[in-house]
Structure 1
Amino acid sequence: MKQHITRFRLRSVSAVAALLFAAHTAWAVDPFTVRDIRVEGLQRVEPGTIFASLPFRIGDTYNDEKGSGAIRSLFALGLFKDVRLEVSGDVLTVIVEERPTVADVDFAGTKEFDKDTLKKAMRDVGLTEGRPFDKALADRAEQELKRQYINRSLYGAEVVTTVTPIERNRVNLTFTVSEGEPAKIKDIRIVGNSAFSESTLKGLFDLDTGGWLSWYTKSDRYSRAKLNADLETLRSYYLARGYLEFRVDSTQVAISPNKQDITITVNVTEGQRYVVSGVKLEGNYLGRDDEFKSLVKIRPGEPYNADQVAETTKAFTDYFSNFGFAFARVEAVPEVDRANNRVAFVLQADPARRAYVRRIMVSGNNRTRDEVIRREFRQFESSWYDGDKIKLSRDRVDRLGYFSEVNIDTQDVPGSPDQVDLVINVTEKPTGSLQVGAGFSSAEKIALTFGIKQENVFGSGNYLGLDINTSKYNRAIVLSTTNPYFTQDGISRTIDVYHRSTRPYQDQGGDYRLLTSGASMRFGVPFSETDTVFFGAGGERTEIKPGTNIPGAYLKYAEQVGYVTYSLPLTIGWSRDSRDSALVPNRGRYQRFNSELGVAGDARYVRGNYQFQQYVPLNKKFTLSFNTELGAGKGLGGRPFPIFKNFYSGGLGSVRGFDQGTLGPRDVTGSSIGGTKKFTLNTELTAPFPGAGNDRTLRLFAFVDVGNVFGENQPIRAGEMRVSTGVGLSWISPVGPLRLAFAQPVRKFAGDRIQKLQFQIGTSF
Structure 2
Amino acid sequence: MTTLLHRARLRTLSTLVAAALASQMAWAINPFTVRDIRVEGLQRVEPGTVFGSLPLRVGDTYTDETGSAAIRALYALGLFNDVRLDVQGDVLVVIVQERPTVAQIDFAGNREFTKEVLQNALRDAGMTAGRPYDKALIDRAEQEIKRQYINRSLYGAEVQTTVTPVARNQVNLAFNITEGQPARIKDIHIVGNRVFSESKLKDLFDLDTGGWLSWYTKSNQYSRAKLNADLEALRTYYLTRGYLDFKIDSTQVAMSPDKESMSITINITEGERFVVSGVRLEGNYLDREDEFKSLVTIKPGEPYNADEVTATTKAFTEQFGNYGYAFATVNADTEVDSGNHRVAFVIKAAPGRRAYVRRINIEGNTKTRDEVIRREFRQFESSWYDGEKIRLSRDRVDRLGFFTDVGVSTAEVPDAPDQVDLVVTVKEKPTGSVQIGAGYSSAEKLSFTFGLSQDNAFGSGNQLDLQLNTGKYNRTVVVSTTDPYFTSDGVSRTVEAYYRSAKPYQDQGGNYRLITMGAGLKFGVPVTEQDTVYLGVNAERTEIRTGTNIPAAYLAYAERFGYKSTSFPFTVGWSRDTRDSALAPNEGRYQRLFGELGLLGDARYVKTNYQYQQYVPLSKQYTLAFNGELGWGKGLSGQPFPVFKNFYSGGLGSVRGFEQATLGPRDVTGSFIGGARKITLNTEFITPFPGAGNDRTLRLFGFVDVGALLGEHEKIERDAFRASAGVGVSWISPMGPLRFAFAVPVRKKAGDRIEKFQFQIGTSF
Q: Same fold (TM over 0.5)?
A: yes
1:158 aligns with 2:158: yes
Q: Deviations over 1:310-330 (max 9, x none)?
A: 111111111111111111111
What SS is found at the alignment partner of 1:163? strand
Q: Deviations over 1:499-550 (max 9, x none)?
A: 1111225533333211111111211111111111111122222111222221
Give the alignment of 1:211-290 within 5 angstroms: 211-290=211-290
What SS is found at the alignment partner of 2:56? coil
**Match of 1:7?**
none
2:63 & 2:76 partners in 1: Cα distance? Answer: 20
Counterparts in 2 of 1:522 and 1:165: CA distance versus 1, 3 Å: farther
**Match of 2:313?**
313
**Match of 2:613?**
613
What SS is found at the alignment partner of 1:634? strand
Counterparts in 2 of 1:356 and 1:472: CA distance versus 1, 3 Å: same
1:406 & 1:67 partners in 2: Cα distance? Answer: 57
Counterparts in 2 of 1:104 and 1:602: CA distance versus 1, 3 Å: farther
1:114 & 1:637 partners in 2: Cα distance? Answer: 68
1:625 aligns with 2:630: no
1:20 & 1:424 partners in 2: Cα distance? Answer: 59
Counterparts in 2 of 1:315 and 1:173: CA distance versus 1, 3 Å: same
1:58 & 1:155 partners in 2: Cα distance? Answer: 57
What SS is found at the alignment partner of 1:285? coil
2:64 & 2:17 partners in 1: Cα distance? Answer: 11
**Match of 2:478?**
478
Counterparts in 2 of 1:505 and 1:325: CA distance versus 1, 3 Å: farther
**Match of 1:463?**
463
Deviates more, 1:14-23 or 1:135-144: 14-23
Give the structure-2-normalised TM-score: 0.95
Give the alignment of 1:660-739 within 5 angstroms: 660-739=660-739
1:447 & 1:679 partners in 2: Cα distance? Answer: 31
Report the CA distance between 1:635 and its aligned residue: 2.0
Equivalent residues of 1:22, 1:65 under 8 A apart: no
2:441 & 2:154 partners in 1: Cα distance? Answer: 39
**Match of 1:511?**
511
2:328 & 2:554 partners in 1: Cα distance? Answer: 70
Counterparts in 2 of 1:87 and 1:17: CA distance versus 1, 3 Å: farther
Letter of the 1:379 counterpart: Q
1:332 aligns with 2:332: yes
Counterparts in 2 of 1:107 and 1:661: CA distance versus 1, 3 Å: same
2:101 & 2:473 partners in 1: Cα distance? Answer: 62
**Match of 2:98?**
98
Counterparts in 2 of 1:293 and 1:55: CA distance versus 1, 3 Å: same
**Match of 1:123?**
123
**Match of 1:44?**
44
Counterparts in 2 of 1:433 and 1:25: CA distance versus 1, 3 Å: closer
Equivalent residues of 1:506, 1:671 under 8 A apart: no
Letter of the 2:750 counterpart: A
Equivalent residues of 2:26, 2:67 under 8 A apart: no
1:157 & 1:258 partners in 2: Cα distance? Answer: 11
Report the CA distance between 1:114 and its aligned residue: 2.2
**Match of 1:54?**
54
Letter of the 1:628 counterpart: G
1:45 & 1:567 partners in 2: Cα distance? Answer: 79
Deviates more, 1:714-723 or 1:339-348: 714-723
Report the CA distance between 1:625 and its aligned residue: 0.9
**Match of 2:114?**
114
Report the CA distance between 1:351 and its aligned residue: 1.2
Equivalent residues of 1:631, 1:679 under 8 A apart: yes
2:230 & 2:505 partners in 1: Cα distance? Answer: 49
Deviates more, 1:490-499 or 1:643-652: 490-499
Counterparts in 2 of 1:25 and 1:119: CA distance versus 1, 3 Å: closer
1:729 & 1:472 partners in 2: Cα distance? Answer: 30
Deviates more, 1:297-306 or 1:73-82: 73-82
Counterparts in 2 of 1:492 and 1:401: CA distance versus 1, 3 Å: same
**Match of 1:744?**
744
Report the CA distance between 1:21 and its aligned residue: 6.2
Report the CA distance between 1:73 and its aligned residue: 2.6
**Match of 1:6?**
none
**Match of 2:195?**
195
Report the CA distance between 1:557 and its aligned residue: 1.2
**Match of 2:582?**
582
Report the CA distance between 1:448 and its aligned residue: 2.0
**Match of 1:9?**
none
What SS is found at the alignment partner of 2:596? strand
Q: Deviations over 1:542-601 (max 9, x none)?
A: 111222221111111111222122221221111111111111111111111111122322
Give the alignment of 1:275-424 within 5 angstroms: 275-424=275-424
1:687 & 1:26 partners in 2: Cα distance? Answer: 81
Letter of the 1:175 counterpart: F
2:444 & 2:244 partners in 1: Cα distance? Answer: 58
What SS is found at the alignment partner of 2:190? strand
1:659 aligns with 2:673: no
**Match of 2:5?**
none
1:605 & 1:715 partners in 2: Cα distance? Answer: 19
Equivalent residues of 2:676, 2:711 under 8 A apart: yes
Report the CA distance between 1:412 and its aligned residue: 2.0
Deviates more, 1:720-729 or 1:131-140: 131-140
Counterparts in 2 of 1:115 and 1:747: CA distance versus 1, 3 Å: same
1:75 & 1:34 partners in 2: Cα distance? Answer: 21
Equivalent residues of 2:247, 2:268 under 8 A apart: yes
Report the CA distance between 1:226 and its aligned residue: 0.6
Residue ranges of structure 2 left out of the alignment (5+ in a row) = 1-13
1:129 & 1:250 partners in 2: Cα distance? Answer: 44
**Match of 1:555?**
555
1:697 & 1:364 partners in 2: Cα distance? Answer: 29
Report the CA distance between 1:19 and its aligned residue: 4.9
2:102 & 2:505 partners in 1: Cα distance? Answer: 64
Equivalent residues of 1:652, 1:763 under 8 A apart: no
Equivalent residues of 1:505, 1:662 under 8 A apart: no
Q: Deviations over 1:189-227 (max 9, x none)?
A: 000000000110011111000000000000001111111
2:594 & 2:82 partners in 1: Cα distance? Answer: 78
2:545 & 2:133 partners in 1: Cα distance? Answer: 73
What SS is found at the alignment partner of 1:610? strand
2:453 & 2:130 partners in 1: Cα distance? Answer: 38
Report the CA distance between 1:355 and its aligned residue: 1.9
Deviates more, 1:536-545 or 1:70-79: 70-79
**Match of 2:10?**
none
Deviates more, 1:390-399 or 1:114-123: 114-123
Counterparts in 2 of 1:28 and 1:514: CA distance versus 1, 3 Å: farther
Letter of the 2:80 counterpart: F
Letter of the 1:639 counterpart: Q
**Match of 2:183?**
183
What SS is found at the alignment partner of 2:368? coil
Report the CA distance between 1:43 and its aligned residue: 2.6
2:719 & 2:418 partners in 1: Cα distance? Answer: 68
Letter of the 2:93 counterpart: T
Equivalent residues of 2:22, 2:84 under 8 A apart: no
Equivalent residues of 1:109, 1:177 under 8 A apart: yes
Counterparts in 2 of 1:272 and 1:440: CA distance versus 1, 3 Å: farther
Equivalent residues of 1:441, 1:760 under 8 A apart: no
Equivalent residues of 2:599, 2:605 under 8 A apart: yes
1:490 & 1:352 partners in 2: Cα distance? Answer: 35
Deviates more, 1:36-45 or 1:243-252: 36-45
Letter of the 1:302 counterpart: E
Deviates more, 1:507-516 or 1:449-458: 507-516
1:585 & 1:66 partners in 2: Cα distance? Answer: 72
2:240 & 2:341 partners in 1: Cα distance? Answer: 16
